[in-house]
Amino acid sequence: MVNNKAVRAKRGLKLMIVDDSNIMRRRIERSQQFEELELVGTAGNGEEAIELFKRTDPDVVTMDLTMPRMDGIECIGRLVAMKPAVRILVISALADKATAVEAMERGANGFLNKPFTDRQLNEAIEELMR
Amino acid sequence: MLHEQELKTFVDGTTNFFEVAAQQPASIGSPYLMEGAPTVHEYTGVINISGKREGVVYFTAPKAMLTVLLMKMQENDFSHETMRDLVGEVANTISGNARRDFGHDFVISVPSVLTGERPDIPQKPGLRSFIIPINWRSHSAKLVVSLT
């Protein structure tokens, strides 16, 4: 019998979660869709994210925008410059269109507004992984 | 000073937060205006606003309410740090969502969190505050909006 979860895990994609809230990091980590990814670490701001990115080379990143020290918009640009193929899902409370456009122009691949349901999170991740 | 429609943005943002994040709607009381700072609960998440508007938005709630809210969010850490994290995240979410109507120049800070019932909340002199009462389950909290 084929274990679907094991098959999915063989994709071997690595995940990094960036958010200044511990609650949000744990919430995203619990997402069912992320079971297929290997969590390589979490970061609480853009500077930490860049350091972690260099050490762990993730394939998929969830990125908050409003964070201390270095915000998510700047961080996205830096991560994409290091690895253009990285897939980035922005998860932010900032709900204006201009911010979403700016994030996508910097290299993000998806945008999910907080607050979100589990279903919305899973759908956004599924879309990101296509 | 906020217009009625702008105030509605914050009422709607608060309603949406509880409906989505807590999966249980809150009852939002009639907003009222007051001079100076209102009394607050044990935990207060403060967002400083700059750009085309200036002032503060803060969410203040008792520990008992935050504990239940964390349970509804499937959290199992109820430490002081997690309570602080949660009030900051609520204030951040409601303020960030307000940019849907206020636009990109409504610049929000990262949250700062104050604890205790007599915290020193920075407030622009002469600016009045709108209080949005929030009743959720058996608990009461407030969203305070004080903007130019």
pLDDT at A11: 62
Residue A48 or B5, more confident: A48
**What is d(CA B102, CA A93) in angstroms, rounded to the nearest whole number?**
13
Instruction: Select the more confidently predicted residue: A118 or B122.
Output: A118
- In B, which residues are within 8 Å of A21 by CB distance? 85, 88-89, 92
CATH fold group of domain B4-30+40-123+135-147: Chemotaxis protein chec (3.40.1550)
Domain ranges of chain B: 4-30+40-123+135-147
**pLDDT confidence bin for A2, thresholds 50/70/90:** very low
Residue of chain A minimizing CA distance to B97: A95
A75-107 tens-digit pLDDT: 999 999 999 999 999 999 999 999 999 999 999
Inform me whether the pLDDT recorded for A8 exceeds 60.
no
Tell whether the model's pLDDT for residue A9 goes beyond 70.
Answer: no
Which residues of chain B does A28 touch, with a Cβ-Cβ cutoff of 8 Å?
none
Query: pLDDT averaged over chain A?
Result: 89
What gap in Å lies between CA B128 and CA B32, rounded to an integer?
10
Residue B7: CB atoms within 10 A of its CB come to 16
Domain containing A69 — which CATH number? Answer: 3.40.50.2300
Q: What is chain B's alpha carbon radius of gyration, rounded to the nearest angstrom?
A: 14
Residue A106: its pLDDT value, please? 97
The segments of chain B whose pLDDT lies below 50 read: none
- What is the reported pTM? 0.91
Residue-wise pLDDT tens digits, B18-60: 999 999 999 999 999 988 778 899 999 999 999 999 999 999 9
| B interface with A, Cβ–Cβ below 8 Å | 16-17, 20-21, 23, 70, 73-75, 77, 81-82, 85-86, 88-89, 92-100, 102-104, 106, 108-110
CB contact under 8 A, A95 and B92: no
Structural domains counted in chain A: 1
pLDDT at A3 over 50: no
Q: Maximum Cα–Cα distance for chain A, whole Å?
A: 49
Q: How confident is the model at residue A4 (pLDDT cuts 50, 70, 90)?
A: very low
So what's the pLDDT on residue B119? 67
| B74 interaction partners in chain A (CB closer than 8 Å) | 27, 30
**Per-residue pLDDT averaged across A2-24, rounded?**
72
Place of tokens 């915290």: B119
Structure tokens at B120: 């020193």
DSSP secondary structure string, A16-67?
EEE-S-HHHHHHHHT-GGGGGSEEEEEESSHHHHHHHHHHH--SEEEE-SS-
Per CB-CB distance under 8 Å, the chain B contacts of A26 are 75, 77
> According to the model, what pLDDT value does residue A129 have?
82
B107 beta partners: B50
Q: What is the pLDDT of residue B127?
A: 81
Residue contact A23–B73, C-beta within 8 A: yes
Distance of CA A18 to the CA centre of its chain: 7
* Of B100, B106, B109, B139, the residue nearest B45 (C-alpha): B109
- The pLDDT, as a whole number, for residue A5 is 46
Q: Quick check: B98 and A116 CB within 8 A?
A: no
Number of H helices, E strands in chain B: 4, 8
Tokens of B29: 């009381």
Which range marks the domain in which residue A83 is found? 4-129
Q: Report the gap between the CA of A19 and the closest CA in chain B (Å).
A: 11
What average pLDDT does this structure show over A30-37?
Answer: 76
A99:B75 CB<8 A: no
C-alpha span between A10 and A6 (Å, rounded): 6
